[in-house]
Amino acid sequence: MLSDRLIKVFVGPPRKGQRPYLVQQTLLASASDYFAKAIKHENMGVNSEPGVLRFPDDDSGAWKVFLHWLMWRELPSETITDRLAVHCWILGDCYHITRFQDDAMFELLECFEDDGAEEELIMVAFQQTPPGSKLRALMSEELAYLMQEELTPFDKVDPLLNGSNFAGELLGALARLRSSGDRTIIYRFRRTDDGQYPWKEFMVGDGAIRLEGYARELRHK
């Protein structure tokens, strides 16, 4: 059947000998409306290529994780770094794959539970996300904590203050940090005094309910 055909997916800048990922059409279309529409209209345009989708600006590492997730509906957690989790979240945001975003965010929150974010990773996240996104909110909190503890010099923050609406988001995070203390940032999987679980604030889909069991396990480690 045509719906069971394999779609050739090229990721990253075109290069000689580039090999595509082969993905079942129905599986890819089920991931988001974006892919369903892209497949439906693949024959339109001057340079149309039936059965081929190209994403030259995307991160190939994030796509590898996404394709694993698409098949098994879980991330290969043993190979996920905080940087890769950020790129996975960005990929999910670009194509409206909310479950993939939530899984990537959960991995990122777990990474930060142990080590926190580094300035370079915060820069990457802010450069590739829109204002008001959940990833920006998380990175604002991480940077606010670094600044409060004087773990990062201001000259590393200054480039972010020029554009991207970063200043407002950072000031908001600093205000929240000062009013609630650092407990909600360091221990996001633990319940706050008012009965809330901070990690749930960073979910964009059904992750707050779907991932509760995993969060409970982390709380009891």
The pLDDT tens digits of the residues spanning 54-100 come to: 999 999 999 999 999 999 999 998 889 999 999 999 999 999 999 99
pLDDT digits (tens, 9 = 90+) for 105-141: 999 999 998 788 988 899 889 889 988 999 999 999 9
What is the gyration radius of the CA atoms in the chain, in angstroms? 19
What pLDDT shows up at residue 154? 62
The burial class, CB within 10 Å (0-12 / 13-18 / 19+), for 179 is exposed
- To the nearest 10°, report the CA torsion of 156, 159, 161, 164: -130
Taking the model in full, what pTM does it have? Answer: 0.90
Task: Give Cα separations from 51 to 16, 66, 144, 171, 197 (angstroms).
Answer: 20, 19, 46, 47, 44
How far, in Å, CA of 190 to CA of 201, rounded? 13
How far, in Å, CA of 167 to CA of 154, rounded? 13
Strand 6-11 and strand 52-55: the pairing is: parallel
Structure tokens at 71: 């098949």
What secondary structure does DSSP assign to 56-106, as a single string? Answer: TTS-HHHHHHHHHHHHHSS--GGG--HHHHHHHHHHHHHTT-HHHHHHHHH
